[in-house]
Amino acid sequence: MIQIKSLENTTFDQLYEAFSNAFAEYEVQQTADQLNVMLQRRGFKPELSLGAFDEGRLVSFTCNGIGKFKGTETAYDTGTGTLKEYRGKGLAGQIFQYSLPFLRQAGVKQYLLEVLKHNNSAISVYRKQGFEIVREFSYFTVERINISSRKRQKGNDISITTADLNTINRMNSWFDFEPSWQNSFESVGRQVEGFVIKAANVDNSPVGYCIFEPLSGDITQIVVQSQYRRKGIATALLDEVLMDCKSMGVKLINTDNQYPAINEWAVSVRLIKRGEQFEMMLKL
């Protein structure tokens, strides 16, 4: 008999086994360390996450992250999966509906998720539940050895220095767009020891920065003041952080399609666009 309950008493090993089985068909698999870091970074709260259990075995789950998004208490779908042999039974939808009263009771005002644009069945389900599309994102990946490096443009005295989160947090006026949940300052702050943060300086004044996660190869944020763009600064930052990369691949996730500059830069350094996804929101 299937029982839906919170993941509060589920061990990490049980959760990792369920993740691995649910996403066994994916080309890229997460290690246990990578999953643990991802869950921490995205604010995973097991007591507000739920799963479907069949005789004690976790067969379907939604891991919810909890935090602020644009100043509002938000739940974020950190990972939803169902074992292959249990698909088609509506378990993910049942888990979501079961979770709503608990999320509201915890003060959550909205639910945020991302879904691949070509996943029409999932999008249809989310729309029926009341979700609305907020933004359209692109995502890029490439093997590290295929990243292009370009010489810094002459005439600009660019220096790269180590920075801290508090310092670069004051540079958010340089954003073209608000970072997605997993790329936000709040998410970085949950696992800041796992990131490399570098600032680019011209004439001893900061003009850009990059936040990079060496374990996953994730370019979490890369920002340059508008008047200093197309001068090799973003690429200089990328060259610097890649020296700490421990992953075979590099990725840039959730670039806002309304602002093409970051996507154009990604292509220029030979990152490969792999697809697009929607950011969707449900007000609770």
Instruction: Specify the residue for token string 């001068």.
Output: 231
Q: Flag whether 269 is in a domain.
A: yes
Q: Flag whether 93 is in a domain.
A: yes
Same domain, 192 and 93: no
Mean predicted lDDT score pLDDT of the chain:
92
> Which of 9-18, 45-54, 157-166 shows the lowest mean pLDDT across its residues?
157-166
Same domain, 150 and 77: no
pLDDT of residue 49: 97
pLDDT of 190 higher than 90? yes
Domain that holds residue 220: 140-276
Same domain, 262 and 161: yes
CA angle 165, 178, 262 (to 5 degrees): 90
Beta bridge partners of 253: 139
**pTM for the complete prediction?**
0.91
What is the β-pairing status of strands 158-162 and 132-143? unpaired
Q: Give the confidence band of 102 by pLDDT, cuts at 50, 70, 90.
A: very high
Same domain, 160 and 217: yes
Same domain, 213 and 151: yes
CB 199 within 8 A of CB 161: yes
Q: Flag whether 124 is in a domain.
A: no
Q: Rounded to the nearest 10 degrees, what angle do helices 261-268 and 233-242 cross at? A: 60
Share of the chain above pLDDT 90, in %: 78
Q: Give the confidence band of 78 by pLDDT, cuts at 50, 70, 90.
A: very high
Same domain, 164 and 256: yes
Q: Is 247 exposed, middle or buried (0-12, 13-18, 19+ CB in 10 A)?
A: middle
Stretch 9-26: mean pLDDT: 92
Q: Flag whether 120 is in a domain.
A: no
Domain count, the chain: 2
Return the CATH number at 15: 3.40.630.30
Same domain, 152 and 266: yes
Stretch 75-93: mean pLDDT: 93
Stretch 86-110: mean pLDDT: 95
Q: Flag whether 34 is in a domain.
A: yes
Nearest to 200 by CA among 167, 243, 244, 245: 167
Same domain, 207 and 272: yes
Same domain, 210 and 266: yes
Q: Flag whether 173 is in a domain.
A: yes
Stretch 184-189: mean pLDDT: 95
Same domain, 163 and 84: no
Q: Flag whether 268 is in a domain.
A: yes
Greater confidence (121 vs 91) lies with 91
Same domain, 166 and 214: yes
pLDDT of residue 152: 46
Q: How far apart are CA 242 and CA 21, in angstroms?
A: 31
pLDDT of 173 higher than 80? yes
Q: Flag whether 128 is in a domain.
A: no
From 87, 108, 129, the end of a domain falls on 108
Q: What is the full DSSP assignment across 7-27?
A: STT--HHHHHHHHHHHTTTSS
Phi-psi region of 26 (alpha: psi -120 to 50; beta: other; left: phi over 0): beta
The two three-digit tokens of residue 133, written as one number = 């599309």
56: which residues sit within 8 A by CB, 6+ positions away?
Answer: none
Q: Give the confidence band of 148 by pLDDT, cuts at 50, 70, 90.
A: low
Q: Give the confidence band of 154 by pLDDT, cuts at 50, 70, 90.
A: very low
pLDDT of residue 150: 56
Q: How far apart are CA 45 and CA 73, in angstroms?
A: 13
Same domain, 171 and 94: no
Greater confidence (213 vs 203) lies with 213
Convert the pLDDT of each residue in 44-57 to its tens digit.
999 999 999 999 99
